[in-house]
Amino acid sequence: MKIGLLVGRENTFPQAFIDYINALALPDITAEFCKLGGTRMGEPPEYRVIVDRISHEVPYYRAYLKNAVLQGAVVINDPFWWSTDDKYFECCLSDKLGVAVPRTMVLPNKDYIPEITSESLRNLVAPLDWQAMLDYTGLPAILKPAIGGGWKNVSKVHNVEELVRAFDAGGQLLMILQEFIEFQQYVRCICLGKHNIKVIPYNPLVPFAERYAPDPHYLTPALHERVVHDAWTLCDALGYDMNTVEFAIRDGVPYAIDFLNPAPDFDSFSIKEENFQWVLENLSRLVIAYARGEASPWSPPGTTVPGHDYRWAHTLRGGETAAGVLGAAVAEVGHTAVRAAEAVGAALKRGGHKKGAHDPGATPSPRAGEKAAKNTARRKKGDQAGDTVVG
């Protein structure tokens, strides 16, 4: 089985990763750079697992990867979810999951493609109430792209004038405005396979090459535990197998700052040798487990429980989309049937309305509920074994 790697210009990680896997000399696994040049409809991928570091900037790769998932390959990271994600949604999700996050709002764009005129925008309020926005986030505030990286178009603003100037410079980018977290500590977590998390002190205020500064005692054990838990919660919910999650720590609370890094910096000179080796070892272990079907993206290695089964996950499981959606629907009907049967049973016990229990037109029979419950259990077992996921 082959592991394929899609990369851009980075040059310390790719060859080292391929060499690391090939040096294991496994009888069933080899790794190489993917070679692609136009893909036919339904074409089976040559690779069992593909590690994608660049499809956000090469649209053909993204299209190729979606079909690869449909044909049964495992892609790190899931190309469907990556296409959907943005920092605003992530903040909303984080808030819902109980992971501390700065107050954040999303703004209408400054500019649009030429075909969009003011008539096209009649749903938008104008002018925008800048002061109300800053009242919500507080000052200073951060304005940054909803999808972005490399600190491009990230601005710290101190008043309405600076906000409007930074917003105007954003052009066609979708921007978010965020409370600035005045932090005492800052960490970046490299997250592999959702649950495998390395917390590294990271100082965003010093030059690039000095930012990662390994120090195992940087956080108290309790804070370290909370950071790991929160990073796990986010990666599990988002479904990323390769990500970095940043936290700014203010008054002992870790606030999630940036957790949309699905092609994280793995350069040895920036993350430093010890972390680099950790990435090579743990990412190799992950792709080998996925290739062999010993784990699936929905139940990563080293876990006893499968990842949370979020609703969108069913759509994202390319290879089993139809079956998955149908399965989910059957399970939902099953749950309803079980609940109905329980209600009828309770009513019977109370000596209440008996007719309904024997009237197939009125409520499902208790046996229908049992059967549905069995179906649900079977489906769940399949998820844990990974047999419905990686095909």
Ligand X SMILES: Nc1ncnc2c1ncn2[C@@H]1O[C@H](COP(=O)(O)OP(=O)(O)OP(=O)(O)O)[C@@H](O)[C@H]1O
Q: Which two tokens mark 3?
A: 């592991």
Q: Which does 55 bind (CB under 5 to 8 A by kind): Mg ion, ligand X, none?
A: none
Q: Which does 369 bind (CB under 5 to 8 A by kind): Mg ion, ligand X, none?
A: none
Of the chain, the end-to-end C-alpha distance in Å amounts to 14
147 binds ligand X (CB under 6 A): no
The nearer residue to ligand X, 180 or 266, going by C-beta atoms, is 180
Going 262 to 266 to 270 to 276, the CA torsion angle's sign is positive
248 binds ligand X (CB under 6 A): yes
Q: Which stretch binds ligand X (CB under 6 A): 25-33, 147-155, 213-221, 304-312?
A: 147-155
Please compute, for residue 232, the number of CA atoms within 13 A of its CA located in the half-sphere on the CB side: 15
90 binds ligand X (CB under 6 A): no
How far apart are alpha carbons 25 and 29 in whole angstroms? 8
Q: Which stretch binds Mg ion (CB under 5 A): 17-25, 50-58, 147-155, 350-358?
A: 147-155
CB of 226 to Mg ion, least distance (A): 21
String of b and e for 328-359 (b: at least 16 CB within 10 Å)? beebeebeebbebbeebeeeeeeeeeeeebee
- Within 10 angstroms of residue 120's Cβ, the number of other Cβ atoms is 11
142 binds ligand X (CB under 6 A): yes
Nearest to 256 by CA among 228, 279, 218, 282: 228
151 binds ligand X (CB under 6 A): yes
- Helix (H) / strand (E) element for 4: namely strand 2-6
CB of 145 to Mg ion, least distance (A): 10
Scanning residues 177 to 196, which ones bind ligand X (CB under 6 A)? Answer: 178-181
Q: Which stretch binds ligand X (CB under 6 A): 108-116, 146-154, 162-170, 352-360?
A: 146-154
Among 22, 261, 303, 321, binds Mg ion (CB under 5 A): 261
Contacts of 365 (CB under 8 A, 6+ apart): 341, 357
In the chain, the amino acid numbered 104 is T
> With CB under 5 A, what is the number of residues at the site for Mg ion?
3
Decide if 143 contacts 155 (C-beta within 8 A). yes
315 binds Mg ion (CB under 5 A): no
Q: Which stretch binds ligand X (CB under 6 A): 5-13, 255-263, 291-299, 337-345?
A: 255-263
Going 157 to 159 to 162 to 167, the CA torsion angle's sign is positive
The nearer residue to ligand X, 73 or 142, going by C-beta atoms, is 142
The nearer residue to ligand X, 150 or 221, going by C-beta atoms, is 150
The binding site for ligand X (CB under 6 A) comprises 102, 142, 144, 148-152, 154, 178-181, 204, 246, 248, 257-258, 261
The binding site for Mg ion (CB under 5 A) comprises 149, 258, 261
